[in-house]
Amino acid sequence: MRVLTASITNFISETGEVAMLFWGIVKSLPRLVRDRHLVFAQMSHIGVDSLPLVVLVSIFAGAIGAWQAAYQLSGLASTALVGGVTSRVIIIELGPVLTGIIIAGRVGASIAAELGTMKVTEQLDALETMAINPVRYLAMPRVFAAAVMMPVLVTFANFIAVMGAFVVSLLFLDIPQHVFFGSVQQFFSTKDVFGGLLKATIFGTLTSLLGCHIGFQTTGGAEGVGVSTIRSFVVSSAMILISDYFLWFFLF
């Protein structure tokens, strides 16, 4: 019982700390223009540098989606619906969630490692000594850049995944081009697109925010940095899947 009580208390306490960090980032947004060089550097790191991995994963995600859709529809309906079914699943779920997990592993973990190293080497204390707010200088650019670049990455991921599904459908499933894209057009909905992009924004914000929080809380030297890196990826991935479930009720 004590362990359960302690776990609940720690969860509530940490949730409050994350909320306070987010509020501190919101209060730092008026400095966004002045600190734009920091934001652009993070946008390049989060967006441009992540694009090759996102493209690679998206190609095969779309290809696998086409195979699965054809298999599921083979006994129920015509495989001519493969394009529409696959594209809708990609836009609503596969694109935002897979890209979010990629960013959690590549960006969220690196944020925790970077800020955690700064914490254990007392660089954060040095910033405060120079009257530089670490939340404004370190957290705000990362969270804002992730929130902006995630929808861009998801847009690329959706397009590449649909193209991967199209190639599989054309070469291996004998579905003509006009049939595939006709089905995509039939199932296409702007509500799905905007819902997926809103998910992407939320996932990017969550991932970077948790990475910053865990990095700022790092203790224990090099071992603590390693623990924070792993914890950032695990917590961010779990929160992406949990929030994806609850967002379904509000968006679709």
Do 233 and 108 meet the contact criterion of CB atoms below 8 Å apart? Answer: yes
Written as one string, the DSSP assignment of 60-79 is HHHHHHHHHHHHHHTTTS-G
For the residues 225-252, what does the mean pLDDT come to?
93
Tell me the mean pLDDT in the region 190-195: 94
The total of other beta-carbon atoms located within 10 Å of residue 44's CB is: 13
Residue 79: domain span: 2-251
Kindly state the average pLDDT of the residues 142-153: 97
Q: DSSP letter at 173?
A: S
Q: What is the mean pLDDT of the chain?
A: 93
pLDDT at 141 over 70: yes
Q: How many domains does the chain have?
A: 1
pLDDT-derived band at 80 (thresholds 50, 70, 90) equals confident
DSSP for 143-158, please give it: HHHHHHHHHHHHHHHH
